[in-house]
Amino acid sequence: METFEELLDKSTAIHGHVCAGQVIGVRLAMIGLREIGITDPRGKERKDFYVLVEIDRCATDAIQTVTGCTLGKRSLKWLDYGIMAATFVNLKTGKAVRITALEEARAAAKKYCPEIDDRYRQQLEAYRVMPEAELFRIQPVTVKVPLQDMPGRPLKRVRCEVCGDWVQDCRDVEQEGRTLCRPCAFGRYYDLTNG
């Protein structure tokens, strides 16, 4: 695997700028892969693991860059929890680990870079050198990945009986004897217009 600095450069290029979230995400992903025994995430082991991210912030771009996992490949799952955390699952061995960025690391950054006055820059530089134990909580976990969430071809594809949209991956809903998409069953996030 590439070095931290090489991965941070790649992540920064994709994300658009370097920030503390990029540093956290790169380090978090490198630890996650190490902990579940993945050494070639973009090569021969690219289909052997799965990542769940719990926030849609800078670190997620870094995690995607390091691991090669994406929503489109169904190897990355986003959970809208608002927590700076990610879980890495080895699909072959079942080994899984959840890694959370510690809030206390923000204040600890002063200890590592006292010469930097700007707190964001201070965190960015401190997170590069801070020991893992001060930056992250690493927890072994068990994750049951449902068959319909596994990477690969859809298990099922059905048509909504109300709007006609096609629904994949067992995301359909049976309601009053009809097969529906979730928007027809529970409400849409958008309103149709006549434009």
How many structural domains does the chain have? 2
Helix 104-112 and helix 119-129, axial crossing angle in degrees, nearest 10? 80
Q: Residue 53: which of 75, 76, 19 has the closest Cα?
A: 76
Could you give the CA distance from residue 29 to residue 61 in angstroms, rounded to a whole number?
11
99 and 170 housed in the same domain: no
Which of 109, 83, 98 has its CA nearest to residue 138?
A: 98
Average pLDDT over the chain reads: 95
Query: Per residue in 80-104, pLDDT tens?
Result: 999 999 999 999 999 999 999 999 9
pLDDT tens digit string along 39-66?
A: 999 999 999 999 999 999 999 999 999 9
Whether 17 and 47 map to the same domain: the answer is: yes
Does pTM surpass 0.85?
A: yes
92 in any annotated domain: yes
Question: Are both 168 and 140 inside the same structural domain?
Answer: no
Domain span at residue 176?
A: 153-186
79 with 165, same domain? no
Q: What are the residues facing 147 on neighbouring strands?
A: none
